[in-house]
Amino acid sequence: MPLRTAAGPVSLSLCHITPSHDSIALLHTRNSGEPMYRYVPTFMIAILLGAAPLRAATPPLTDAALSDAADKLRLKNYSAASRTAADAREGGKRDLLRGVAELKRGNASAAAPLLAAAAKGYPLLADYALAYQIDALTKLEKTAEALAVNTLLVRDYPESTLARSARLRQGDLLFAAGDFGGAEAAYQKFVETYASGSDAIQASYRTALCREKRGDLTGAAAILRTLWLASPASHQAARAEEDLARLAAAGVPLPPYTPKELLKRGSSLYDQNRYEAALKTFRAIDAGKEPEEFRERLSLKIGQSLLKTRKYADARAILDDLASRTKKKELAAEAAHLAARCLEKGGKDDEAFDAYRQVAARYPDSSEAESALLNAAFVRKFQRRPADAATVLTGMLETYPRTRLKQRTSWELGWSSYLAGDLAVAEERFAALAGEDGYRERALYWLGRTRMAAKKPDGAAEAFTTLAREFPFGFYTLQYLGTGVDERKPVLPKLGGDPRETLPMPEGFERVKALTSLGLIEDAGREIAAAKKKNGRGKNEAGMARLYLEMGDYFGALALYQGAAAKNGGPDNPTVWGILYPRAYPEQVSRAVAENRLSTGLAYGIMKSESSFKPGATSPVGARGLMQLMPDTAASMLKVKSVSGEKLYDPELNIRLGIRHLRDLLDQYQGNQVAVIASYNAGGGNVNRWLKTYAGLREDEFIESIPFGETRDYVKKVLATAVLYRQLYGMD
């Protein structure tokens, strides 16, 4: 849907803005609060007069040179893109592409006039031309001109997807121009308009800087203090802390933080997995004059933070002390349970087993008792003592027959009984769990396995047949096919063509199409994301998937269809399969697997499971890109001191290093794919320990025994995905 200007539809005349005091004067506020007008010189406005609002449609690129230049821009070959575009026909499209290419390669002086011309000559994307022009002028330190262009962008394109960032930049440009009153007003208006988001936090922080520049140090300190408390995990909070220290050194009076304020801040950091910062905040609290309830709550928070930061001995000391002195039984039970967890994490398994059972014995009516018994069973499970684990679990179900953990406990009892050879109990538990939605798939598989072990082939076949019918493309069905019980394989389409050929090109979305055709993929992604948010899910998904694939955005297309596919069997729709299991980045993958003698299916299984084909994916621990590589791992492979995390977002580099890393792991584990996949997720140290503990188990039994739930599910997902890729594409 085309945008409208604030004044409504307008003519497509190239000179639709009439210079006047209203159009070229910027309203500012002096420190005293009195209004003043600053006029941008007329020669600066001259370059802006042709920036018409967006029109409804654009013809596709027909200029071969421009298309070639767009391909080079997409590949970030900016110099070549600009040179190639210079041979294209004159016009706004060429100017926009060349302007962006010159800007990206660092030639802002060449970019600025090209982008100004593009704003005149290409109304459909005039707002993008203006935004890039502002970037160029800013790099050239032409603040007044950049401010004039940005004011035009904010005023004439209020519905643009760039409007929000332009409004924030208005404050930044006013600040850079030295108009701190005007900047503060712009930032405050931004926060009023957009109350949440990281940019709102940035606007608040910049408001404080404006107040400091205007001499209102107390007002600046008040904003910084609020930001430090309310947004503790933001990078602005760290800067606010430094600024507050500087202001305090300059003699600005700062009210001390109250214990309650600090406890709230620390709890927020803890909830956002910022455990070291949370611990630092909790330890800064002087709780000597606080009520006992507050002191106990603080002790619990410190103990939890120490546990999360792997300071197990310190955590246990605080938690044991809390459990012994509090008069609240529920709190004592929680502290004792966490203290037992510290023992287990510290490698003292037998002591942890006793401590878990003592929690249930001392506090049988607490909400912690059932979880503590389950954790005691896990200790024995991970020691490969399934009979002992089954004894604990049986006792738990007898003591707490209505436990909220009944399904989980029943599953663990069935699994421990299976490993211990008590097939009757295992069959009973798996049969019952096959009726529960959350457990049905794996319960059917292990029910079949249990019946096979008990020499009940008919019962096993019944379980496997049900599994194959209801979950034809799940891990367990694919795993059981090699058992010889039933070799009937689910029928999958054979893929080979481009799924774009079977998807309709949607009407409308002209800005998305135009940006894509020019190689401005990130900008096209911004536009389609805004359209998706506006239209809601379920509307024209096929057409939007086509647009995503035209952009080379496999993740965007996949996300539209996630959950709509294969679990229900649908092999009759090859297009959906092609979207959900795309042959993404085929040239890069083919080259890397050939160089490293790796299974293509395994490579795609890892990539899909790690990032869902999102090149910019970043994990909480810092893994980057399609195959989620850590910068340290990449640096080691490249034999360099360090690798910028940003470089790992490049698909070619990420795929090349990720597949090479898989090859190294395959060599290390002598071709054991399960160990390789588990190591890719959980690290070699954990996998080596599991291989030793569970030596002798059959492969599927080993997978089911992996202690980390995330890793266990990850291995299943990768293996199943690899099989599906092999069957869909006939790859190795």
Contacts 24+ apart (CB under 8 A), 316-321: 316/342, 316/343, 316/346
Angle at 408 between CA 402 and CA 447, to 5 degrees: 115
Cα–Cα distance measured from residue 162 to residue 523, given in angstroms and rounded to the nearest whole number: 10
* Residue type for position 476: Y
The 3-state DSSP class for residue 208 equals helix
Cα–Cα distance measured from residue 172 to residue 170, given in angstroms and rounded to the nearest whole number: 5
Angle at 116 between CA 111 and CA 117, to 5 degrees: 100
* Residue type for position 648: L
Q: What share of the chain is helix, strand, coil (3-state, %, to 5)?
A: 65, 0, 30
For 92-111, give the DSSP string.
HHHHHHHHHHHHHTT-HHHH
Cα–Cα distance measured from residue 284 to residue 276, given in angstroms and rounded to the nearest whole number: 13
Cα–Cα distance measured from residue 595 to residue 609, given in angstroms and rounded to the nearest whole number: 22
Q: Which of 466, 471, 486, 550 is nearest to 71 (CA)?
A: 550
Q: SS in 3 state form for 306-374?
A: HHHCCCHHHHHHHHHHHHHHCCCHHHHHHHHHHHHHHHHHCCCHHHHHHHHHHHHHHCCCCCCHHHHHH
Cα–Cα distance measured from residue 343 to residue 351, given in angstroms and rounded to the nearest whole number: 7
Residues carrying an active site annotation? 610
How is residue 515 written in tokens? 């940006």
Contact 690, 676 (CB under 8 A): no
Q: Where are the beta strands (DSSP E) in 17-115?
A: 25-29, 35-39
- Give the chain's largest Cα–Cα span: 92
What residue spans of 471-505 are helical by DSSP H? Answer: 475-480
Residue 5's DSSP bridge partners are 8
Phi, psi of 288, rounded to the nearest 5 degrees = -60, -35
Q: Which of 678, 693, 687, 685 is nearest to 385 (CA)?
A: 693
Nearby residues of 696 by Cβ (< 8 Å), 6 or more positions away? none
